[in-house]
Chains A and B, each alone.
With several copies, the nearest count.
Chain A
Amino acid sequence: MTVSKQPPTAEGEPKPLTMKDYTSETKVTWCPGCGDFALLAGVRKALAAMGKHTKDVVIVSGIGCSSNFPHFLTSYGLHSIHGRALPVATGVKLARPELTVIVAGGDGDGLAIGAGHFLHGMRRNLDLTYVLMDNEIYGLTVGQASPTSLMGHQTKSTPEGVIEHPINPIALAITAGATFVARAFSGDNKGLSELVQQGIEHKGFAFIDTMSPCVTFNKWNTYDWFKERVYNLSDQGHDPTNLQAAMARALEFPTLGNDKVPIGLFYRNTSKPTYEELEPALRKGSLLTRPVDFPDRESVLKEFY
């Protein structure tokens, strides 16, 4: 059971990184055809293209099929508990702003049990990249409705069909204050890895809602279903710096109906400072090796006299 995870490049001549440098020896355990493979490839590709050293990347996930994600990369990873990937990642990033921190997880993880953190994680505008592996179902727990399951979806927990309005992750992310909001599709590898790379490069909270079909438990939102509906925002001249326009596009799916599923970049705001930039204790950079900064003893204690 020993897998050695080698960093992509070390000393000597810098050589260009490839996806392989990010590929761990752990066998990927997803079902053949699972949409999550595309995102995995996309992240590997983006990291390689950006030349990020595996030692400086931390992938944080929750629990779910999708949350096994970090095991399949050679970087640092933290496979946390269900729904808490965002606060854990926030802690990592605040402690070590110099690291590249990516959060990966499922729609249940992020939008059901993690819904509160979803909002609060985004309104902080930390420089995190959050890839949601959105399959509109609970995969690992073998097929219950998720917050993005469409009305009428019959699942193990909703045998007569879902009767709740699905959550709209894009609209939510924009409302919450994420400064890079995109939708990707696992059937479009190229677009996906480009969005991931842009997301990582973006300084601020980047959210990428990835339509990632679960071939085992979701018989509705299949690749074909999406292929019939997706269109690319950039083909429609959408201006991602326009908040109102972004919100209007966001409401197309799933709020207003399922006929069209826009993919691509909805919204980007590059003018907002990140949380790290505003955090007073980080003015001097990461605290890892900085000791407590007490002035003389009397100054510390005088308030207690």
Chain B
Amino acid sequence: MDKLLSGLPWLVRRNDLREGTSPPLRGAGWDGRSTMTRHELTLRAGGKAGDGIASLGDTLARTCSRAGLHVGAYNHYQSVIRGGHVWYHVRARADEVLSAGDGIDVLLALDQLTIDTHARWMNPGGVILFDPDKTKVAPEQIAPTTATPLGIPLAALAKQHASDPIMRNTVGAGAALYLSGLPKELTEEMLRQAFKRKGDEVVASNINTLNAGYDFAKEHGAPLNLELATSRKKRLLMTGNDAIALGAVASGCRFAAQYPMTPASPIMHWIASHASAYNVIFKQAEDELAAINLAIGASYAGLPSMTATSGGGFSLMVEAFGQAGMLEVPLVVVEVQRCGPSTGLPTKTEQADLDMVKGASQGEFPRAIIAPLNIADCYTAIHEAFTIAERFQVPVCVLSDLYLGEHWETVDPEAIDLQLPLDRSTTILSQIPASERPYLRYKFTPDGVSPRVVPGVDGGQHVASTDEHDEDSTLIGDVLAGLPQAIDVRVRMMEKRMRKLVGIAKVFKQPTLWAPPGVDAGHAKLTVVCWGSTQRVVREAVTELCHHGASIATLELRNLLPFPAATVSDLLSKAHKTMIIEGNYTGQVERLIREQTGLSIPHHYRKYDGEPFYPSDVRAAIKEVL
């Protein structure tokens, strides 16, 4: 049995045969540390879907951002439209926000479940805002954390000032602003902008309601012991999906087709609502099969094209992904992973689709996979994806995830260059150059890339085919396949296509080690490997541990295919001790590394519960290994 188990490296062995016991309650991120004056603020608002939690959270997050703070925010929601428990989490500080953090300073509870669930994670000195007319905070719920409950008649005040009970959230926002010491004027200005189309009365009632909450808190509570270094720095508050959508258009994407699917739909919504203004054709397709094939058709015809989806939708794109590889049509597919398998947990996060994307479609053809590390990097990654797709005429997958796609972070405007170049040097848009006559669509070339013509160009007429073909695109499978002359063409065509991987590998940036200031990355006692969206929280945990004396570096993988095997092999084989942290059950990148380098990483922390990583959990996992 043990031997058998050791033969199953993709089984997490720890809990294998555990039966009937619960896992340790991690996942909400509190490890009981205490702080006196805190230099950051964590706000959480919870209630039922339909209570207006998302807009409340958004208002608070933007207030923080406009106050010049770095912000991270995440909306936890369910896969139903009304009724499920939802909560919105905001963290703000003067330095970059790398995760949701641990613990809560201000908890705004719109229902009892919010108190019962989230009170346990309060920071010492934190305040629970609740409506005493509808809910209660039991002493044992606050005892362990020494948080203060502050009852505020949310519904009554909402009724009084806005005659609409849904406005409880605005009352709560006002109270939270006061407790946090955030500049209320910024929020007022936001409300003014948001409702100005609805008339002065609506604006006034919103502002009054906000102030009612603010004033009540002022009267009955006291501000938290916080020192937030607000500033005048103007930053963008974006999600990864925002960054990908804007980045795609800035990169030159002229055609996008998509079928709705959480968590990729916001990319569609953004592009759809900006399409005609920015000269992009957006088409909602009848399904993902159509979406990717529409994009392939448009790309063949000459427009840089993309589609986006989540894992279930990508499942349906698998065949056409290979079509793009065979036709040598540039294609960008954004895959925003969510928690599987199958329908899984549609509104929760995971990093478990890499195996699928890596193996997608029958046979072998060159492809690239880029897993962006954070929100600003989403912008860079989508541009790289278009560049590689167009330059090498291959399908490229940007592998994001729900957490990356849907959470907000402040991004320095300098990171967003709207004038992005697109290398279309291998595409012939107007006239066949003399050197390419007679034109051969699939010409054997040293780098495997053959100049590609688009229809409408005279002299370039040919039939692009998913059947194996010769340089001039005639078929070899229908008359002579298996005969020496056709075998020769087949072998060379296969090698021509696969040679593109060499070129892509050359333009791919190689990964490097990172360590917090003061730690020599090359000689750290432990090297923690991570990839994609896990990078940020790992950096935070590593920084904190190093601050307390540990010596840890990180190896942050982003360009997953073609895999930078030489570099990774070099870095890992020099490392003292290695560990990998990833958001899946079977260790997909751990296995990828072993597959590509032969190197095993002996320690891991894997998470597959649908929630993002919390720094306290990551610290704890690393500590076990240190």
Contacts and interface: CB of A to CB of B under 8 A. Distances in A.
A55 B458 contact: yes
Interface string B278-304: 111111111111110111111111110
B81 A95 contact: no
A contact residues, range: 35 or more
A96 B81 contact: no
B83 A87 contact: no
Contacts of B474: 1-3, 26, 71
Nearest to B329: A78
A152 interface: no
Contacts of B236: 301, 304-305
B476 interface: yes
A77 B250 CA distance: 30
A94 B269 contact: no
B289 A84 contact: yes
B601 interface: no
Contact of A138 (B260, B279, B282, B413): B260
Interface stretch (B89-97, B251-259, B546-554): B251-259
Interface in A281-302: 281-284, 287-294, 297, 300-301
Contact of B287 (A4, A55, A83, A158): A83
A55 B281 CA distance: 23
A117 to B, nearest CB: 6
A5 B82 contact: no
Interface stretch (B112-120, B462-470, B558-566, B613-621): B462-470
Given A84-B289, A91-B257, A141-B261, A77 B464 contact: yes
Nearest to A147: B286
Interface in B469-501: 470-472, 474-476, 478-480, 485-486, 489
Contacts of B246: 300
A14 interface: no
Contacts of A142: 81, 265
A72 to B, nearest CB: 9
Interface in B285-340: 285-291, 293-303, 305, 312, 319-320, 323, 327
Given A279-B281, A280-B276, A291-B279, A89 B463 contact: no
A31 B82 contact: yes
A48 to B, nearest CB: 15
Contacts of A32: 82
A91 B303 CA distance: 10
A65 B83 CA distance: 13
A88 B276 contact: no
B297 A281 contact: no
A202 interface: no
A77 B283 contact: no
A160 interface: yes
Interface string B45-88: 00000100000000000100110000000000001111110000
A92 B301 contact: yes
A5 B284 contact: no
A94 B283 contact: yes
Contacts of B457: 55
A151 interface: no
A113 B287 contact: yes
B272 interface: yes
A171 B420 CA distance: 49
B contact residues, range: 35 or more
Contacts of B242: 304
Contacts of A99: 301, 455-456
A94 B327 contact: no
A30 B478 CA distance: 11
B587 interface: no
B289 A87 contact: yes
Contacts of B480: 1
A70 interface: yes
A216 B81 contact: yes
B255 to A, nearest CB: 6
B460 interface: yes
B459 interface: yes
Contacts of A96: 301-302, 454-456
Nearest to B471: A2
Q: Tell me which of A27, A55, A76, A301 has the highest count of chain B C-beta atoms within 10 A of its own C-beta.
A: A76
A49 interface: no
A27 B85 CA distance: 14
A142 B406 CA distance: 15
Contacts of A294: 250, 278, 418
Contact of B272 (A26, A27, A158, A279): A158
A42 interface: no
B438 interface: yes
B234 interface: yes
Contacts of A159: 272-273
Interface in A42-84: 53-56, 58-60, 63, 65, 68, 70-71, 74-84
Interface string B435-462: 0001000000000000000111111111
Contacts of A10: 458
A156 B272 contact: yes
Given A1-B470, A53-B458, A283-B276, A78 B300 contact: yes
A94 B320 contact: no
B429 interface: yes
Nearest to A283: B276
Q: Tell me which of A3, A80, A99, A159 has the highest count of chain B C-beta atoms within 10 A of its own C-beta.
A: A80
B260 A90 contact: no
A117 B286 contact: yes
B296 A305 contact: no
Nearest to A297: B418
Q: Tell me which of A95, A99, A281, A282 has the highest count of chain B C-beta atoms within 10 A of its own C-beta.
A: A95
A88 B296 contact: yes
Contacts of B279: 281, 284, 287, 290-293
A140 interface: yes
A95 B303 contact: yes
A5 B464 CA distance: 13
A160 B457 CA distance: 33
Contacts of B237: 304-305
Contacts of B276: 160, 280-281, 283
Nearest to A117: B290
A88 B300 contact: yes
Interface in A108-137: 108, 112-113, 115-117, 119-120
Given A1-B474, A80-B323, A291-B279, A88 B286 contact: no
Given A1-B480, A117-B290, 8 more contacts: A29-B84, A87-B297, A88-B294, A88-B300, A91-B297, A92-B301, A95-B255, A119-B286
Interface of B: 50, 62, 65-66, 79-84, 234-238, 242, 246, 249-250, 252, 254-255, 257-262, 265, 268-269, 272-273, 275-291, 293-303, 305, 312, 319-320, 323, 327, 342-343, 411, 413, 416, 418, 429, 438, 454-467, 470-472, 474-476, 478-480, 485-486, 489
21 contacts: A26-B474, A58-B301, A68-B478, A74-B461, A80-B293, A81-B342, A90-B283, A91-B255, A91-B295, A91-B298, A91-B300, A91-B301, A93-B297, A99-B301, A144-B284, A157-B284, A280-B276, A281-B282, A282-B281, A287-B280, A293-B277
A-B complex: 7 closest residue pairs judged by Cβ atoms? A91-B297, A77-B463, A280-B276, A87-B293, A113-B287, A95-B298, A79-B465
